[in-house]
Structure formats: C-alpha cells, structure tokens
Amino acid sequence: MAGWTVGKKVLATALGMGATGGAGLYVALDESVKADLTLHPPKLPWSHKGPIDSFDHASIRRGYQVYKQVCAACHSLKYIPYRHFVDVFMTEDEAKEEAAEVMVRDGPNDIGEMFDRPGKLTEYLPMPFPNSAAAAYANNGAVPPDLSLMVLARHGGEDYLYHLLNGYCDPPEGVELGEGQHFNPYFPGGAIGMAPPLYTDIIEYEDGTPATQSQLAKDVITFLSWTAMPEHDERKKFGMKAMLVLIPFTALCYYKKRQYWSLLKSGKYVYNPKKY
C-alpha cells in the first residue's frame, strides 16, 4: 500500500469499515431472529418478600414434607442440619424424632467395629446417593444439584423455580429431545433431564391443606428459600430494631448540625478597608 494514492487508501479504508459493519449487522440480525426457547419467569407476590415480612412457617413445614417425600430421592440438602428445624417449623422433640429416623454410620466401638446409630440434632440431612458417580449413574449421567442454596444460585430465584416446576409441556415443532429428556421452556435450552416431579394429590398434607400442584410448588420453594436464608427473619427483626434507633439518632444529628453551623451560615462578614 506504500505506492497507493490517497484516494485508493481512503477507498480501501471505507471498504474495510463497510465490510466490518456489514458482518456485525449480519450477526446481530441473525441472533435477533433466532427463536428463544427459554422463557423469563414472571414475578410472583411471595409473602416473605416485603421489607418487614417474615416467612410463612406453616408453608415451610409443608414444604419440608414435599421435599422429604418427593425431592429427597434425588436432591440433597447437605448444608442443613436438623437442629435448624427447632423453633422454625418443628419443636425440639419433633426435630429429634425426625433426625432419629436416619441411621448414621459411626464408630469404631469398644471392639473396633463400625456401627449404625440413630441420628442426632447435630446431623446434617442425609445424601440420596453415596457419591457423584452413583448419582450420575442413576440419573442418565446427570448429577442432581444440591438444593441448599438453589434459590440464591439461579437467576430469578423463587420465581424461576416455581415456573420451572409448573412449566413442563410438549416440545414445539422442530425441537427434538434426547432419551430421558423433557421439555420445559423455563429451563435454559428447553431440554431438562428431570421428569415432572409434582402432581396434584401426590402427597397428603398433615394439616389438611389441599395438595394441588401449585400449592406443592409454592410450599417446597418457600422451604428452599428458608434453607438458603435461614437468618431471613432474624435479619429483618434486627433491621427494624436498628431503624428504631437510627431514625431518632439521625434526626438529633441533623438538629445539632444545624445548631452548630447556623452561626457561620447566617453570619455576615464585611470588610471595611482603612482609609488614610
């Protein structure tokens, strides 16, 4: 290009910029017309989302029942111990009975052998599979994720999980699913390995609440919100107490600030040069 004239250089530059812009426009148009099979979950009015709202503890108890009877077969809650249940949705005796249902490997004993014993409050909820390889083998190669922090781990939180549990449907024309896959428009990509887990009356609630599919989803997600944020209620209580102290303190500080600075802000200084 050293021997090119100024006109040729300008023309070459213009052609290069045009080609680059055209390629960018083509990519943008191509992406814009592609069918997006992933739906964004609409927002729902969760009862604990307000600034001073607490969890529905009856719903947490029902949600634990849903998790125990439906979800625990595949998904773990490895960060949640039974002692967290106490005074949240169970009494201490109920939590002890719940923990005692699980046999825990312990030992060695006096003769050096391992033994099984009933669980205690300090035990964590049991894992459904002994290891990841066993979990993948039982689920067509996919390891079911732990649900302890799932509400915080997914974009959309409770809304995403609720619509995911209720969003199973037939795939649209042209979408082919692999063996053991199901179509859910709220799952990224649409193809999900988990079969629809909830159906109306799949379980019977202890308190007599009608076990509709939407009610089951709402309760188990409320329970998972609590597992992800067990300090939720205490945090809001502390925030309310802090506001009761900080609001009067802020008003007092503002009053003292106006008092101390009023002299400087309202004073008038005049310079009278000395005349000779």
Q: Give the residue numbers of the binding site for heme c.
A: 71, 74-75, 194
| List of residues 6+ apart from 79 with CB closer than 8 A | 124, 146, 148, 149, 227
Rounded distance between C-alpha atoms, residue 17 and residue 220, angstroms = 55
Binding-site residues, in ranges, read: 71, 74-75, 194
Nearest CA among 37, 244, 233, 223 for reference residue 147: 223
Rounded distance between C-alpha atoms, residue 46 and residue 39, angstroms = 20
